[in-house]
Chain A
Amino acid sequence: DAGVIQSPRHEVTEMGQEVTLRCKPISGHDYLFWYRQTMMRGLELLIYFNNNVPIDDSGMPEDRFSAKMPNASFSTLKIQPSEPRDSAVYFCASRGLGAFFGQGTRLTVV
């Protein structure tokens, strides 16, 4: 298995644009997490899914953020409209017997 795959690896976009981050978890893992990492706040849990169902989205900063998991092999995190303060590294992680993090997407909103 190739591990948790995130795309794109880097994204630079202009303020106001829509951004979609993608994650492919490890097959068979029943939990999927989205995190945001910033220097100021460290790692923050945004939302997590269990068996494709969103369980807790209380970490989603505001209505501009949304996440979906249409099937067990794919999840998206969307920001619309994006703002400069959304600039961060976004990690996706899936969990089975172990915790597996993707390589992250570095988002820069200018």
Chain B
Amino acid sequence: ILNVEQSPQSLHVQEGDSTNFTCSFPSSNFYALHWYRWETAKSPEALFVMTLNGDEKKKGRISATLNTKEGYSYLYIKGSQPEDSATYLCALNTGFQKLVFGTGTRLLVSP
């Protein structure tokens, strides 16, 4: 069974702080890595799809990096805002069109 791990499980920061969290996965099963932003009553919002070792992607204040050889990806948020509060999920795509999800990092940004 594939294991995708995210850390920390939860994070509480102040508005304006920059933060980052980690997604770890077995490097031997890699096809693509997805990052999602998830608010409870909504569909997860796709942030990034990353496929190449060394990939760096950016969307506004959020960016992500990928290391497929060592099996990890980092998500960074620069200057956190209260509206960034959500659960951030990563999911491993092993190439069979099905995603294996991590348990998420729940971020709370206080004003």
A80 to B41 CA separation, bound complex (whole angstroms): 25
CB-nearest residue of chain B to A89: B98
B25 to chain A, nearest CB (A): 14
The winner among A42, A99, A106 for most chain B CB atoms within 10 A is: A99
B43, A44: Cβ atoms closer than 8 Å: yes
Q: Is the CB of A59 within 8 A of B100?
A: no
Q: How many residues of A contact B (CB 8 A)?
A: 24
> Does B52 count as interface, using CB distance less than 8 angstroms?
no
Contact B42 A45, beta carbon cutoff 8 Å = yes
Q: How many residues of B contact A (CB 8 A)?
A: 22
Q: Tell me the residues in window 31-59 of chain B with beta carbons closer than 8 Å to chain A beta carbons.
A: 36, 38, 40-44, 46
Whether the pair B41, A104 counts as a contact (CB closer than 8 A) is no
How far apart sit A39 and B106, CA to CA, in the bound complex (Å)?
A: 26
Contact of B10 among A42, A44, A89, A97 (CB under 8 A): A97
Taking CB atoms, residues of chain A closer than 8 Å to B106 are 97-98
Report 17 cross-chain contacts, Cβ distance below 8 Å, ordered by A residue: A37-B98, A39-B97, A42-B43, A44-B43, A45-B41, A45-B43, A89-B97, A97-B10, A98-B9, A98-B103, A99-B103, A99-B104, A100-B103, A101-B101, A103-B1, A103-B98, A104-B98
Interface residues, chain B, with chain A CB atoms under 8 Å away: 1, 9-10, 36, 38, 40-44, 46, 87, 89, 91, 97-101, 103-104, 106
Chain A interface (Cβ within 8 Å of chain B)? Answer: 31, 35, 37, 39, 42-45, 48, 55-56, 59, 89, 91, 93, 95, 97-101, 103-104, 106
